Amino acid sequence: MSSAVDLPAAAAGHRAPAPGTAIAPWLLDGPAQLRSGAHAGAIAGTIAESGAPTYVYPEIAGYYLQWLAWRARTFGGGDALAARAAAVQQWLGTWLALAGPPQTRVLLAGQVDDWRNGAVFFFDVAMVARGLGSAAREGLVVPDAGVVAGVSRILASLIDADGVFAACRAHDARVTLPDRWSTRRGAFLAKAAAGVITAARTLPGISAPVAAAAHATFAASIEWTLAHPHAEAHPRLYALEGLLALPKDPRFPVVLAAVGTQLAALLAQAGTDGRLPETLDADAAARGPARVDVLAQALRIGTLLGAEHPEHAPDRATLGNLRDLLARQLRPSGAVAFAVDAPAAAACNVWAAMFADQALAFAAHPNAGTWRGGDPLIV
């Protein structure tokens, strides 16, 4: 693999980013995508105050491909985005070729190892498949057969005996992983399952057993969402995003009602300025910081419902509070932090930036978030 990628300036043949934000230029031409070195083309999770990325990982590579596909479909300029998508796919080949089992987080200089590297997560690998499928469908990449086959093999290894995907699989069966929502099955897997279902329609290298398991997992996720919604805001919103990704599913009317109800329950806990809790847990001590990614997720879902199914949408004042609070999180560079109103020295968060760019575009452009093509391409 090449140790450098040639990424042209976004301005070349690219329409203007969503009005009012500098997020897209920061994501396209800033430090989010590595330009050189062993991990050229990879997408960083966070950017330290020094401007250096702290780690790269496959899940966010899938998000970036999804974000590129959405921007190409919504604002045009696909030719200028294709080089970035190709560089991501090239890095995914690098990631698959790394020694040992698949790494959940590839840590860069000075970083301490992460417990997540003791397992492979269905959600993370599903986001890779989803991003590749969306980028291919929008003409940004020609799928690399080896990369798609490698992703499909990992997904196949995560199918449990009941035909449904496990949330994760430890590399060493003797290791006990932390008991978190991300390590056990739950409603949030709707986003992962829907991503594999849509990817399998575009990527012929996704095997039939993987596609079948994705359909089974999506069906199970609907039941989990209805019976056991997540108290934590982030996975709750993942679940709702996944349910909205398959509008042609015959269960969609039931899904829509659940999305509206569960979003409303979360927004009922919002502060007067739109600030959302990290969890709906009644124990206030369990609540973490208000998160920018959660704020953006809620705004995306609310505005998408407002544009397409207003009977299930929050009121305009609530959406306005979310939008205004999110817009205030933008730094002059276009970057955002992880937490709402974080100090200026706080690290920049790349996935929150993608979520925020899409959320503000949904709010500003009625056609930026629609079910055109059967998939709103929620990042």
Domain that holds residue 251: 23-374
Q: What is the CA radius of gyration of the chain?
A: 19
Q: Considering the domain boundaries, does residue 156 fall inside one?
A: yes
- CATH (domain of 49): 1.50.10.10
pLDDT of residue 372: 75
Q: Considering the domain boundaries, does residue 62 fall inside one?
A: yes
Q: Considering the domain boundaries, does residue 176 fall inside one?
A: yes
Give the span between the Cα atoms of 125 and 159, in whole angstroms.
13
176: Cα within 13 Å, side-chain hemisphere = 2
Q: Considering the domain boundaries, does residue 4 fall inside one?
A: no
pLDDT of residue 284: 55
Q: Considering the domain boundaries, does residue 97 fall inside one?
A: yes
- pLDDT tens, per residue, the chain with 379 residues: 446 777 765 433 334 444 436 899 999 999 999 999 999 999 999 999 999 999 999 999 999 999 999 999 999 989 989 999 999 999 999 999 999 999 999 999 766 788 999 999 999 999 999 999 999 999 999 999 999 999 999 999 999 999 999 999 999 999 999 999 999 999 999 999 999 999 999 999 999 999 999 999 999 999 999 999 999 999 999 999 999 999 999 999 999 999 999 999 999 999 999 999 999 987 755 567 899 999 999 999 999 999 989 999 999 999 999 999 999 999 999 999 999 999 999 999 999 999 999 999 999 987 788 887 789 999 9
Q: Considering the domain boundaries, does residue 242 fall inside one?
A: yes
pLDDT of residue 261: 97
Strands 119-121 and 168-170: antiparallel
pLDDT of residue 6: 72
Q: Considering the domain boundaries, does residue 311 fall inside one?
A: yes
Looking at the 3D structure of the chain, how many domains does it have? 1
Q: Considering the domain boundaries, does residue 1 fall inside one?
A: no
Could you tell me the sign of the dihedral formed by the alpha carbons of 338, 8, 4, 87, in that order?
Answer: positive
User: What 3-state class would DSSP assign to 159?
Assistant: strand
Give the per-residue SS3 of 276-342. Answer: CCCECCCCHHHCCCCEHHHHHHHHHHHHHHHHHCHHHCCCHHHHHHHHHHHHCCCCCCCCCECECCC
pLDDT of residue 15: 41
